[in-house]
Each structure stands twice: as C-alpha cells, then as structure tokens.
Amino acid sequence: MKNFKSILAIAIVSILFTSCSSDDDANPLPINEEEIITTLNATLTSAGNTITLSSQDLDGDGPDLPVITVSSALAANTTYTGSLDLLNETEDPAESITAEIEEEDDEHQFFFSSSLVNTAYLDMDADGNPVGLAFTLTTSDAGTGSLTIILRHEPVKSADGVSDGDITNAGGETDISVTFPISVE
Amino acid sequence: MKFFVMLFAICFSGIAMAQKCSSKLNGTIDDFHDGSKIIGASLYIKSLDIYAITDLNGNYKFLNLCDGVYNITVSHIACETKTLDIEVKGNTIYNITLEHHVEELEQVNVKGASLKAQTNSSQETLLKSQDLENYSSQSLGDALKQVSGVNSINTGNTIVKPVINGLHSSRIIVMTNGVRLQDQEWGIEHAPNIDINSAETVSVIKGSGALAFGGDALGGVVVLSPQRVFLKDSLFGKTIASTQTNGRGLSLSSKLTKTFKDGWYVSGQGTFKKYGDFKAPDYNLTNTGLNSISFSLNGGFKTFEKGFNVFYSYLNNEIAILRSSHIGNVEDLVTAINSQQPLIIDDFSYDINAPRQDVTHQIYKAEFYKRFKKFGRLDLQYDFQNNQRFEYDIRVGDDRDKAAIDLELKTHSLKTSLKLDSDHGNIYEAGVTTSFQNNFANPNTGVRRLIPDYDKYDVGVYAVVDLTINEKLRLDFGARYDFNYYNAKKFYQTSRWEERGYDNDFADLVIDDLGTQLLVNPKFEYHNVSASTGTTYKVNENNALLFNYSLSNRAPNPSELFSDGLHHSAARIELGDLRIKQETSNRFAFSYLFSTEKLTLNLETFYNHINDFIYVEPTGTEQTLRGAFPVWSYKQTNAYLLGLDLSLDYMFTNAWSFKNRSSILKGHDQKLDRPLIDMPSNKTINSLHYKNEKWYNLNASIESELVLRQNNFPDNNFETFIPTTNETVLVDISTPPPTYHLLHLHSDVTFALSDKTNLNVGVSVQNVLNTSYRNYLNRLRYFADDLGRNVMLQIQLNY
C-alpha cells in the first residue's frame, strides 16, 4: 500500500503538472465567416439602360439592418434582362458567392415575387430545372410596389409549381430573402 | 516412513504444548470509530472449538491456552467479521477493534419508495438497478422520469436532459462515480454524456441541499454510483440486449466485476447502441438516429480502513437531429409551425446526416481514502474530463463536411474531504474542491464562435453537520462558499457590441480592434454563498416528516454571458448578456412520508424563490439578408416555483399493486407578473402491477401517462412580414401542445439457469395506442410529433 500511495501521489502531481502547463496567453484567431452572403446585386438591362437593385448587410447576422438601394425607377411595358450577383464583402477582396451557387445549381433556386412585374427564368441546372441567376423581368403599366427575391437552399425542385417559380411547395432553407421597393413609370 | 515421522511430531508437539498450557489471552474489543466498548462480541478459536464473549466492559479472556499461534474469528452483529492470527506467549493481552458497517447504517430505509443515501433532510429518491435496467436502451433523462417531479427537456427523443422541479442544465449537478460531470451542460441541446448502464444506483436529490457536491444546484443533484464492492472472492456480471421496432434499433450492454476477499476489485462495462430513424404515428422522423459507444473501467482496492479507486470512462454519441428542424429564417419557421407534419419525410435509414452532433466525453479519476481510528475518513480525489463536441450543420460548398461548432472543454478537479463519524451517529464533514477549466473553440469551423475561449477557476469550501438528536429526530446544517473566476477572450461584431451598449459599460475590456470585430477580454469573478439546514422527524412507525431550507447562488454560465449570434441549428439569434449576475435561490421543502405494510405515501412540496432568475426567451426579430430571425435573449427576473410531487404505492395483495406518480408545478415571473417560460406541465402516471413468483417470477404492468396541457405560459408570439405572401403574420411560438394520454405495457419473466445465473426476458410496448402527441418541453415540437408505438424485447442475463 505504501508503494501504491507514493505512486498515486506521483501520478496525480505529474498529471496536474503536465496538464496545467498549457501554453496559451495567445489571443484566439478571428473568424471571418466564409459562407456569409453580405450583398445581393440585381442588374436589369434593357436597350442600354441599366438599373441596379442592391441589398448590403455588412455585419451579416449582426444587428445592423441591410441597406437596400434601387438606382432608378423601371420603365413601363419593358422587358429587362436580369442577372444576380452575390458577394461576401467581409473578405478583402470581396468573395463571389455566385460561382459557388453555379457549381451547386441543382441545390439552389431563386424565387421572384411581385405584384407589379413578371419574371421568367433564363437559366437551368443539369436536370433542366430553373436556377434564377439569369432571368427576364417584364413591366406593364406604371405603379409602385415591391420585388422580393428569395434564394432557397435544397428546395424540392420537382415539387408542384416550383419549376414555374412558385415557392409554395419548395421547402428547403432560405439563404436570402430581400424585398426591394420598386416603381414603374 | 513419512507417516511415522508425522505421528511422532504430532505426539511430541502435543506433549510439548501440554506441558505449558496455562497461558491466558485477554483484551478488549472496541469500535473503530468512537472507541466505545463492544459488548457481546464473540471470539472463536476453531482449532480448539472454544468461544469467548465480551462482557459489559468489552473484555474477553481465554484461559488455559498453550503457547502458540491461534487463528481466532471475531464477530459481532452489524460488524465486519474479522479473522486474526494471535500469538500467545505466557499471559498475553491483545486488544481488537471492530468496524461497524457505518455506510450501511447511514441508509435509513424508508419502506418501499425510497432509500436515503446522500443527505439527511433533502427530498431524495434512490433508483436501484432493477429500476434502471428497463431503461438500458434509453438515456439517463428517460430513466429519471420515474421520479415524480422529474421531467425532461428534449431535442427530439435522443437528446434528453433531466428537469428537476422545473429547473435544468446548469442548475443540475450530475455526479458519476464521485466526479462532477463537466460536459457543456449549459445548452438545452447538450444531453448529459453518461451511459445509464454504467450506474448501479442513481440518487435524485431535489434542491441544493447536498452541499458537498456543489453550491449551485438550484434544481438538484443526480448521483450515479457504480457497483458496490463486496469483500469476497467473486466474479459476477450481467448482459442486457434489447431490440425495438421504433428506430429499428439495438442496444447491447455488458458488465463484469471481479472482487477479491482482501479488497482488490476490478470492473469493466461497455454499451453499444444503434438506432435508425424513429417514427411518429403517421410518418418517419427523418434523420433521428443514434450511434453510441461507451465503456468504462473501474478498479482499485477497498477495505474499511483504506482504499483507492481508479476510473476511466469513454463515451461517444453520434446523434442525428430531425432534418426538418433545420430552417432558414422566420418565414421557414412559420411554414413549419403551420404545417401539420415535417416538411421532409424520407424512407427509413440508419444514416446520420447533418444536422448532427458528435460528442465524446472522457473521464479519468483517481481517488484515495483512509480512515483513522476514533476519528473519521479522509478522501482525496483528482479527476480530469475532456469533452469534445462537434455540431454539423447543413452547409454548402467546401464547408459541407466541416463542423459548425467545435468545442473542446477540459476540466481538472482536485478535491479533498474529511468526514468525522466517531461521534455516535453525528457526522461532521468538511471539504475543499478546486477546479480549472479551459474551453477552446476551434476557429477552423469558419463560423463565428457561439461560446468563446475561456479559462475558468473554481474553489469551494464546505462544512456539513448531521446530528442525531434521538431515535426520532435528526438535524443537519451546512454551509458552503464558492469562488468562480472567468477569463474569456471573445470576438464581438462591432455593431453588436454597440447595439448592446457594451461600448459604454465595458469599453475597458476591449484588447484589440479589428474594424468590424472587437476582441474583448472579460475577467469576471463571482462569490457565492450557499447554506442548507433541515430536519427529519419520525413521528411514529408509520409517519415521518422532513423539512429543509436551502440557500444557493449560481454564477452565470458561459452561454448566459457570452452567447452572441446566429445559432444555426436553432435558426435563432441568441444573445447573452455580460451584465448578468448570479442568481440566488431560497428553497423551502416539506415532505410527509407515510408507510404501512400495504401503503407507502410520499408527499413532497417546495417553494423555491429565485432572485435574478436567469432565463432565455424570444424578444423579437432581427432582419438580415437572409430574412428575419427570432431573437432569444438571456434575461433576469425575480421568480418563484411552487410544486407538489406525489408518490404512492399500494399493495392490494401480494400479487397486485398500484403506483401513482404525480406532479404539479407553477413557475411565476414576479417582475412581469406572468408565468415562466418552459415549465413542465402537470402530469400523473398511474400503473397497475401484477407479479407471480410461481410463474417464473412474472412481472406485468400497465401504465397510464397523462400529461396535461401547460396553461401557464408567457405570450412571446410576435408578428413578422412574410415577403412571399406579402402579408404580416403572427408567429405562434408560445402556445403549448394539447393534453395527451399514453398507455404503456411491460412484462418480464425470469428463468434460473443455475445457482448464480438467471435469464430475464422482457417485452414492453410504449405508446400502445400509437397516439400522436407533442410535448411542450421538446424543442422539436414545432416540427414533428413525438414517438409512435414502440415494441421492445429485452433479454438480460445475470451471472
């Protein structure tokens, strides 16, 4: 028993000694979130005329609200060609998320909803389902309203109406949801 | 030739002894603890077949002995029988000490319902191995629910945290084999990392009265004890195998213990569990499986006077979390709440996909104790725990298989205690506990840390006195002081830091400014005082009363202080508060126990007043590019909890008996004058049991579980704008699910295979009627129903 006691004592002391002599007074490393989408830019062009809709939220999940800007009003009875660009601007230079979505386009789909304008998909994934990075936007008469752009991750693209742009049965998780105030003149 | 030599030798020695056979052996026998004389102890010399009995002064004597060495057996009721080799040479005096089974005596047996073990006046229930074996394939949290007043808060059905009298997580201490579990217990989705099969008994102590374990257990203490060691040469064990329809799962657990007469022992135990997707009555709960592996080794040396114990335990749980519970923003939450069933239902699978947890917990322990004559027992223990938690989320691109949370929590504890038990039934205990804890949040996740890197130091000192005034009355007093110190390094988003007003209150904590992020170094210390006093009074053979008052303080945990940001797996923004201070509980408990041959009744009431009660509740939404998210904030208020727990056992005949376990609880926020959030609802469990020893020890029971709707809840509903439908809707995250009633069946038979081996075969059916229900305290109640019918077959071999 005596031997055991001294062995135990030595064991305890050595464990304490080795374990408490941990290194660090060093500061932890900062984390810049990689997957975060800070910025959605929608560009609408028609006959050399370009309109930009932008939503930027530089603190991501932080308390600051997204800053939403629309460069100008849309023209009535016009068809615009639209494209979307997604950025992570917490990194320098800004990282493009658009490329990532293009790579995994079968797992992503944008949905557009507006009482004022009509949209149609211009792009497709390998399965022939829409994605929405490229689209057309058609205005009719003048008025004011809004345009909501939603990006769903892992939607059920085969569900009823989803490939026509109806979000009702899409499921999945919302990666982006932005509502732009728009007006048609 | 040999024979003649032997014969000669024997004859000669006989003559030689006969010549000097006038020696006397005498002495006294006294108690090891208090030195009192032991009366009526018997001494037996087997070779001569003669006895001696100690007189009123504890004296014994043997006359007319021959000189030589005698093997003498000393025995007394309630004492360990001792065998000694005593050399007699002329008139010899030899004093002997005997050991009372003190530890056995400490357990005052309250018939039927409970055994007292850890405390005097606390409301305590002991679950024995038979009570635990039926839960072999489940979790600790499930097993504890057989104690009235104990519920669970769940994330699905494999992450089960015990709730004692309405309190959980950091307010409950879990002790396993003398080690206080340190496994990131702050989180609701962090279940205790313990295999129920590793325990032989589990004691549930309500309230903070058990000060030796800690001063901050406002809810209670759960004490898991391993197999007791007996001082005899023995090898025994058991194996439990069970399989069940729901989850198409298998659980296998085995335990083997070897003990030796001289005190050495070694024990090994291991459990393996595998479940696939569970099923609600109407659909599969996609991605809810579990893989669990655990084992432990326990060994050492144990005698009455001294001993040591070394213990190692390993547990790995890989837990899938309901796929449909992973949502994007508040709109997805509204969709989920309004949908009657989960949005993703796939075919059955054993796959464990994201979202999932992968948690490994290891415990290393070494303990040593020694008893000193007429004094008491000194205990010294060191333990080290390593908790590694990975949480995987549904992520995109290169991060797909990367953990979103990667926390490693290391805890070293050193504690010593001195227990003086030499004073006739009065016990005095004092101790010191120290611990050092380091949390490391791995930055490789690429997700901002929810819990920061920190070092924590704790020192506690306590003293407890347990006095036996007379046969009927016992009193206890205890006091404890704890010091907690946090040294954390945390990054805050500059915008969050300012939004919370920390730039005014905590500007001096900032040690580095990275522009959009600030590195801050909070160093917080807390001084906590706790105390407990109580009494047990046996009115007569049938009636007993118990009263206890406990004061306790609990320092905020890291999540209450530092949480900040989007909790992806919960789709909510969780905000801790650096300003949170400790909470203080004053708990008054009163119990009435009635027992006769047929009826055992245990009525426990309590009133727990908590100043600065820390809680988390929804406080609105925050808009991000991904849409709006509900914000859950940690807050403090003054609150009280008031409850009544009833246990009733009635034996109609030897074969038929009835059990009732019921609990009522009310939690109220006094500042806001409204109910507290997340309080377990009232419930009653009634069961009818039949046993027949002639039919292979048949046990059969039918159990009715009635859980009432929680009608006392705060209204945290909020309105949010849904862009897709262009309307503002009410997000109902408050309304509790309706009342439900479940029926369960159980039966088992035991076959004796040999003297020491028996085989127990049990069949049980849970939720016999396949009732669809949801529980208020299940975090996944927004997304899916709870479990449907489950038929389980369990085979247990005891050897």
Q: What is the pLDDT of residues B125-167, one digit of tens each?
A: 989 888 899 999 999 999 999 999 999 999 988 999 999 999 9
Lowest mean pLDDT among A74-78, B232-236, B527-531, B578-582: B232-236
Q: How many CB atoms lie within 10 A of CB B799?
A: 14
The pLDDT > 70 percentage for chain B reads: 94
User: What's the rounded Cα separation, in Å, for the pair B346 and B336?
Assistant: 17
Who among B399, B453, B496 is closest to A28 (CB)? B453
For the segment B83-107, the average pLDDT, to the nearest whole number, is: 71
Residue reference for tokens 């394939």:
B137
- B328 and A64 in contact by Cβ < 8 A? no
CA of A62 to nearest chain B CA: how many angstroms apart? 6
Lowest mean pLDDT among B54-68, B461-475, B572-586: B54-68
Run of H or E residues at B315: strand B306-320
Write out pLDDT tens, residues B462-513: 999 999 898 889 999 999 999 999 999 999 999 999 999 999 999 999 999 9
Confidence of residue B394 (pLDDT cuts 50, 70, 90): confident
CB pairs under 8 A, 24+ apart, for B749-755? Answer: B749/B695, B749/B696, B749/B697, B749/B698, B749/B699, B750/B696, B750/B697, B751/B696
pLDDT of residue B229: 80
Q: Are A167 and A176 in contact (CB under 8 A)?
A: no
A contacts of B446 (beta carbons < 8 Å)? 31, 33-35
pLDDT of residue B10: 46
User: What's the rounded Cα separation, in Å, for the pair A152 and A157?
Assistant: 10
Write out pLDDT tens, residues B722-748: 887 778 999 999 999 999 999 999 999
Residue burial B144-177, b: 16+ Cβ < 10 Å; e: rest: bbbbbbbbbbbbbbbbbbbbbbbbbbbbbbbbbb
Residue in B600, B476, B581 with CA at minimum distance from that of residue B527: B581
Q: In what order do the strands lie in the sheet with A173-184?
A: A108-114, A143-153, A173-184
B contact residues 362-381, partner A, Cβ 8 Å cutoff: 364, 366, 368
Helix ranges restricted to H, B556-654? 558-562
Q: Which of B384, B624, B727 to mutate to test the interface with A (most CBs of A within 10 A)?
A: B624
For the segment B193-197, the average pLDDT, to the nearest whole number, is: 94
Choice between B65 and B239, residue whose per-residue pLDDT is larger: B239
Q: How many CB atoms lie within 10 A of CB B431?
A: 19
Write out pLDDT tens, residues B237-263: 999 999 999 999 999 999 999 999 889
For the segment B537-542, the average pLDDT, to the nearest whole number, is: 91
Q: How far is CA A80 from the centre of its chain?
A: 23
Q: Are A121 and A112 in contact (CB under 8 A)?
A: no
Query: What's the token pair of residue B461?
Result: 């000192």
Q: Which is it for the CA torsion B144, B145, B147, B151, positive or negative?
A: positive
Query: B721: which strand partners?
Result: B728
Q: Phi first, then psi: what are they for B167, rounded to 5°?
A: -120, 145
**In chain B, whose CA is at the least distance from the CA of A103?**
B397
User: What's the rounded Cα separation, in Å, for the pair B528 and B479?
Assistant: 11
For the segment B201-230, the average pLDDT, to the nearest whole number, is: 91
pLDDT of residue A15: 52
Residue B64, burial from CB neighbour count under 10 angstroms (0-12, 13-18, 19+): exposed
Confidence of residue B222 (pLDDT cuts 50, 70, 90): very high
pLDDT of residue A60: 83
Please state, rounded to an integer, the average pLDDT across all residues of chain A. Answer: 86
Confidence of residue A55 (pLDDT cuts 50, 70, 90): very high
For the segment B402-415, the average pLDDT, to the nearest whole number, is: 94
Query: What's the token pair of residue B340?
Result: 């009657």
Q: Which of A8, A21, A35 to mutate to test the interface with B (most CBs of B within 10 A)?
A: A35
Q: Is the bond preceding residue A93 a cis peptide, omega within 30 degrees? A: yes
Confidence of residue B7 (pLDDT cuts 50, 70, 90): very low
- Torsion angle in degrees (nearest 10) through CA of A42, A44, A48, A50: -50
DSSP category for residue B778: B
Query: What's the token pair of residue B212?
Result: 């030796």
pLDDT of residue B101: 52
- B511 and A27 in contact by Cβ < 8 A? yes
For the segment A13-20, the average pLDDT, to the nearest whole number, is: 50
Degrees to nearest 5, angle at CA B630 with B625 and B631: 105
Confidence of residue B110 (pLDDT cuts 50, 70, 90): very low
DSSP-based helix, strand, coil % in chain B, nearest 5: 10, 55, 35
Rg of chain B taking only CA atoms, in angstroms: 30
Q: Which of A37, A177, A180, A182 to mutate to test the interface with B (most CBs of B within 10 A)?
A: A177
Confidence of residue B643 (pLDDT cuts 50, 70, 90): very high
Write out pLDDT tens, residues B579-610: 999 999 999 999 999 999 999 999 999 999 99
Q: Which of B626, B633, B783 to mutate to test the interface with A (most CBs of A within 10 A)?
A: B626
Who among A8, A64, A148 is closest to B308 (CB)? A8
pLDDT of residue B78: 67
Residue in B752, B769, B744, B749 with CA at minimum distance from that of residue B761: B749
Q: How many CB atoms lie within 10 A of CB A17?
A: 9
Who among B306, B328, B499 is closest to A174 (CB)? B328
Confidence of residue B554 (pLDDT cuts 50, 70, 90): very high
B contacts of A27 (beta carbons < 8 Å)? 489, 511-512, 519
Q: How many CB atoms lie within 10 A of CB B649?
A: 19
Confidence of residue B74 (pLDDT cuts 50, 70, 90): confident
Query: What's the token pair of residue A25?
Result: 């007074």
Q: Which of A17, A40, A58, A64 to mutate to test the interface with B (most CBs of B within 10 A)?
A: A64
B contact residues 610-669, partner A, Cβ 8 Å cutoff: 622-627, 629
Which amino acid, A79? Answer: T
Who among A27, A35, A153 is closest to B489 (CB)? A27
User: What's the rounded Cα separation, in Å, for the pair B139 and B624?
Assistant: 38
B contacts of A22 (beta carbons < 8 Å)? 438
CA of B445 to nearest chain A CA: how many angstroms apart? 9
DSSP category for residue B693: T
- B626 and A153 in contact by Cβ < 8 A? no
Look at residue A31 and tell me whether its pLDDT is greater than 80: yes
Confidence of residue B103 (pLDDT cuts 50, 70, 90): very low
pLDDT of residue B312: 97
Q: How many CB atoms lie within 10 A of CB B130?
A: 9
- A33 and B446 in contact by Cβ < 8 A? yes
Helix ranges restricted to H, B122-168? 129-133, 140-144
* Residue B519 at interface with chain A, using a CB cutoff of 8 Å: yes
Look at residue A7 and tell me whether its pLDDT is greater than 90: no
Residue in B60, B334, B187, B167 with CA at minimum distance from that of residue B677: B167
Look at residue B19 and tell me whether its pLDDT is greater than 60: no
- B441 and A28 in contact by Cβ < 8 A? yes
> What's the pTM value of the predicted model, to 2 decimals?
0.86
Which amino acid, B368? Answer: F
For the segment B208-231, the average pLDDT, to the nearest whole number, is: 90
* Residue B394 at interface with chain A, using a CB cutoff of 8 Å: yes
Confidence of residue A79 (pLDDT cuts 50, 70, 90): very high
- B495 and A104 in contact by Cβ < 8 A? no
A contacts of B511 (beta carbons < 8 Å)? 27
